[in-house]
Amino acid sequence: MQTTRTVLVTGGNRGIGFAIAAEFLAQGHRVAVTARSGDGPTGSMTVRADVTDADSIDAAFTSVEAELGPVEVLVANAGITRDTLLLRMSEDDFTSVIDTNLSGAFRVVKRASKGMLKARFGRIVLVSSVVGLLGSAGQVNYSASKSGLVGLARSLTRELGSRNITANVVAPGFVETEMTAVLPAEQQAEYLKSIPAGRYATPEEVARVVVWLASDDASYISGAVIPVDGGLGMGH
Ligand code: NDP
């Protein structure tokens, strides 16, 4: 029997975030999602927030705390890509991806940690990517932001670990969502060749790992990077 928690997932209106919110709901937790547009799955509370704006994050947490209680589980999932080769990458392409994927995670983690420290309990899961560890041509901005999450989670583990707060990273490979649907067919086929599993992941396959990392069963796991990539990164 798992303890029922209050969960907040950023970017829970579609893709992997939506699947994560749905899986937490299916396991009986109280779930809120942040969204800039649209809504989370039926049964979740949707709050408007942009992870590049600390005030909107603060307001979102305050509403969730009032409705569902302090956030015990935080999933930092919101992310964007702006792929292009280094010589064509503008400063804005680089900083906007870092601002959303890495600084955005920092902002939500910082806000969530207040309640977690008070409660002496917290589960933080950061959604990274296999390319944060392997690198990826055309994704200098994105892979830098995603590997930054590993340092973030490991430093959180050292700083907050003694307060019963864990911080882990999930590193998905290629997942079928709107983010990957826009890639040219040839590029998708090229990726497929390098995946030992011979197929892409579904958002639900990532969601189940995230929910498990936040569960009572994973209470002694922290600072870990868990790949969900069909073998693409060979355990990295
Ligand atoms: P989608 O593009 O389908 O969804 C992205 C989500 O992030 C949306 O909910 C979006 O909200 C939200 N978001 C983007 N920018 C902001 C912002 N500034 N503030 C708040 N929310 C924001 O992507 P996926 O579901 O595929 O990706 C989810 C996460 O998983 C990302 O971090 C991504 O990098 C990572 N990932 C994805 C992989 C894949 O193959 N798909 C592989 C590895 C990692 P809105 O709808 O309002 O824009």
pLDDT band at 183 (very low <50, low <70, confident <90, very high): confident
pLDDT at 171 over 80: yes
Residue 11 alpha carbon, nearest atom of ligand 1: 9
Is 184 buried (19+), middle (13-18) or exposed (0-12) by CB count in 10 A? Answer: exposed
Question: Both tokens of residue 136?
Answer: 């990826």
200's enclosing H/E stretch is none
What is the Å distance from ligand 1's center to 135 Cα? 19
Rounded alpha-carbon distances, angstroms, from residue 169 to 28, 148, 173, 213: 23, 11, 13, 9
Q: Ligand 1 pocket: which residues have CB below 6 Å?
A: 10-11, 13-17, 34-37, 50-52, 77-80, 100, 127, 129, 172, 174-175, 177-180
pLDDT at 82 over 90: yes
Of 110-114, 134-138, 159-163, 178-182, the range with the lowest mean pLDDT is 178-182
What is the Å distance from ligand 1's center to 10 Cα? 9
Testing ligand 1's pocket by substitution, the residue of 36, 74, 95 carrying the most ligand atoms inside 8 A of its CB is: 36
Q: Is 142 a catalytic residue?
A: yes
What is the Å distance from ligand 1's center to 78 Cα? 4
**Statement: the pTM of the whole predicted model exceeds 0.90:** yes
Cα 134 from Cα 236, distance rounded (Å): 8
Round the average pLDDT of the chain to a whole number and report it.
Answer: 97
Question: Both tokens of residue 104?
Answer: 């955005």
pLDDT digits (tens, 9 = 90+) for 150-165: 999 999 999 999 999 9
pLDDT digits (tens, 9 = 90+) for 30-72: 999 999 999 999 999 999 999 999 999 999 999 999 999 999 9
The percent of residues above 70 in pLDDT, for the chain, comes to 100
Of 92-96, 147-151, 178-182, the range with the lowest mean pLDDT is 178-182
pLDDT band at 187 (very low <50, low <70, confident <90, very high): confident
pLDDT band at 114 (very low <50, low <70, confident <90, very high): very high
Closest CA to 14 of 168, 173, 175, 183: 175
ipTM exceeding cut-off 0.90 for this assembly? yes
Find the mean pLDDT for residues 172-186: 91
11-26 residues labelled b (16+ CB within 10 A) or e (exposed): bbbbbbbbbbbbbbbe
Of the candidates 142, 191, 200, 220, the residue annotated as catalytic is 142
Domains of the chain, start order:
6-227 (3.40.50.720)
